Amino acid sequence: MADYNTMELMIVTGARELKSGASVAVGTGAPCAAAMLAQKTHASDLLIIFEAGGIDPQLPEMPISVGDSRTIWKACQATSMTDTMELFCRGMVDYTFLGGAQIDMYGNLNSTRIGPDHQKPKVRFPGSGGANDFGSFCWNMMVMTPQDSKRFAEKCDYITTPGYLEGGDSRDKSGLAKGSGPYRVITNMAVMDFEPKSKRMRIKSINPGYSEKDVRDNCGFELLAHKQIAETHHPTKKELTVLREEVDPYRYVIGR
């Protein structure tokens, strides 16, 4: 039996994607935990950015909001949302983590509404916040989300944050930075990336305890797959120790 839970696996998997010397824009919750874990293990020079203005903090513990005072602890700058958004627009941020109520095969995200009527939706969500800016201008967009066939939808009811739009070169033609876009989708079941030409989502690795059939059955569209699908690596003892004792000792995120 695994000695870790699903949230811990997703956070560790996300952290491994972050490289030392890179920059990452995060919000609170699991994305922040992943960035903190990376910074405290293999990526000590990871530059973390919070949209409220904290740039390059050495986070002492999990902040509860993007404006928490801990997001500027030992930071190189305590600036403003205007300045951080300018960094995104100038192409200076390598990674970001996002989520949403729906994601389609091209990595487009919906965090606005469910239903066809914008004025009277079935469900109204908070909307974009900074998500559209993050997804439009950061070079590599990563999504961390539970997986089911409703959330992984054939078509988003509303596109809050652009992924690869209609696939192919449609994102490049839209005017967004060439080479930017969705990079990884990390779920409780698998890790996905995007096929370089079609820009369609494909299975990269499957998490322990799940099968390819599980992943496909819990997706509302046809997934592509690598010729050789790997198994997602288990978290190491060191990763779990740092995550549990230094990153989230009060289990705000990993206790979910």
Instruction: Give the catalytic positions in this structure.
Output: 51
Give just the sign of the alpha carbon dihedral 114, 210, 142, 77.
Answer: positive
Minimal CA–CA distance to 203: which of 185, 225, 232?
225
- Could you count the other beta carbons within 10 Å of the beta carbon of residue 182? 26
Residue labelled with tokens 């902040």: 63
Structure tokens at 152: 């992984």
Alpha-carbon span 40 to 246, nearest angstrom = 9
Report the Cα–Cα distance between both ends of the chain, in Å, rounded: 19
**For residue 237, how far is the Cα from the chain centroid?**
23
What is the maximal distance between C-alpha atoms in the chain? Answer: 50
Query: In the Cβ-directed half-sphere of 250, how many Cα atoms lie within 13 Å?
Result: 7
Q: Please state the length of the chain.
A: 256
CA distances from residue 158 to 100, 112, 198, 245, 255 in whole angstroms, order as listed: 11, 7, 21, 40, 31
Residue labelled with tokens 């779990």: 240
